[in-house]
Structure 1
Amino acid sequence: MRSTNITVIGATGFIGCHLVARLAEEGANVLVPARHYERAKHLALLPGVDLRLADIHDDEVLRSLVRGRDAVINLVGILHGGRSQPYGEGFRRLHVELPRRIVAACRAEGVPRYLHMSALGASPAGTSAYQRSKGDGEAAARSAPEVAPTIFRPSVVFGPGDHFLTMFAALQRHLPLVPLAAPTARFQPVYVGDVVEAFVRALNQPRTRGAEIELGGPAVFILADLVRLAGRYAGVERPVLGLPDWMARLQATLFELLPGEPIISRDNLDSMKVDNVVDPATKALTAETLGIKLTSVEDAAPHYLVPADRMDAFRARAGR
């Protein structure tokens, strides 16, 4: 790995934990800023990882975090950022202003590479606040060509520790059926290990400098089928009841009124009006063009969704 000194911002999230572990395996020196030690302490156990308590919203602190690094990776993202036009304050602060400030810090400190996590469907004219903020975030990532930005646009990401298939499996453990909004929404779920591999390869392939990379898995699914698969692999498959649009929006409104992060919001429904799949017309790079052999939902999901007792039985039959 040529980029050996790397700062990963947003490392304590689902994808970040997998990426930091992989970078550590590759022998990189990884700086992980964190607001709270408890959320990041497991990463500090990895070789070559330097955990630093820091406020990434302080410009001077941010410059110190990128100083002397070969590359900076920004994985920060949220699904719920407030309702406003064109997007709420949470989206503005984390999806737009933060990448603009990171890029400015990289330019000031002479960092040669910036890798930015966006999403399929990102567009300033998107159907949802999430998509619009991600689109403006991409513009912020491109605001300094000298840092050679690479923009990643994955579909929904699945794998151990995800908040997608795991959530649907958990719901089916407690509900007799799943009342599902947007049951026919189309996704191209991509395995977290393949996303991590794309980041690692992008660090080492000059053609990714200034490029966009769209990441989808080997198959396209409608949401209802993904919910059924999650329940099946977890051993708790329930009937799926697709909701009409008006009922889906009512359900989302009620979820938004509950404490904590909603299972689904009206803005999520707006995002799902657009197919979340790789579009060949964009002519972006893909996992395949990077030489990555994609992992299917069927190959990976059973290994982390299956209940522990069933996994023990599988291992016993295999003599393991």
Structure 2
Amino acid sequence: MERSLELANMTRVQEFILLGLSPRVNIRDALFAVFLTLYLLTLLENTLIIYLVYSHSELHKPMYFFLGNLSCLEMCYVSVTMPSLLVGLWIGSYHISFTVCMTQLFFFVSLICIECTLLASMAYDHYVAICHPLHYPLLMRPQVCLGLSLSSWLGGLMVSGVKTTCIASLSYCGPNVLNQFFCDVSPLLNLSCTHVALMELVDFISGIVIFCGTLLVALASYSAIGLAVLHMASAAARRKAFSTCASHLVVVGIFYSAALFIYCRPSRIKSMDLNKVLSVTYTVVTPMCNPIIYCLRNKEVHAVLRKTLHLPRC
């Protein structure tokens, strides 16, 4: 009877308060202008890449197929987190309903899992292209590329569905303040008023499996590529192979460094301002830089872009 009364007296949180990126009113207007510009630029860049890849037969290759997928992912990515960031900069801390918060969490976790597997797939594509060029048409035929892409998207949605369901089923009875600019796993676990040791363990293990598993695939691929490049007789071939892989290595390094620092540790560690800065790195900076790093420095993409814009050749 006493237990029932205790549970009845616990008021379930119906909404959360997001503190946003910065509490300093004097710099929020400037930050709002900067991040709105970055958001629009990211959408424009990735839309352009998707259009070029899917409208020109010259780019109907596995590498560009994955780049098109990545650009689509990045557009979804920034559209999940950036509106919350902009609202926080415009009005300061604000309320978000429990349902909207969990929906945002579901899509965010989905997209970060999908990006991990897509980056691993792209590393494998580079490995096959450089280490097994004669077998490349067979190993990276359209059916394989489509299978890798679909498994990335479906796998990310399934993992996120399980994780979000577990987090949503926890009890939140106050306080309800999230020290973040969007609904993220660690700040939400910090607010749960029930014992979350098992959820912490599941979250930690899933982070290790997803992040570290895909990172190991990428590292193994590039280790094999490095050995193959060292054995190339031609200096020009070595430079070309290195140029092909360097951009992907930069993106992998930035993305995994920030993500592993935040997620591959016990989730109930108190959220710090440093976490928000690192979150900006992989939710804002990386999606904006990826098209430039991957595509806009690529000769084939340059040629197609010039033809699309009717610009003369250099």
- TM-score norm. by structure 2 comes to 0.28
Q: Which has the higher contact order (CA 8 A, sep 6+)?
A: 2
Structure with more strand by fraction: 1
Structure with the higher fraction of residues in helix conformation: 2
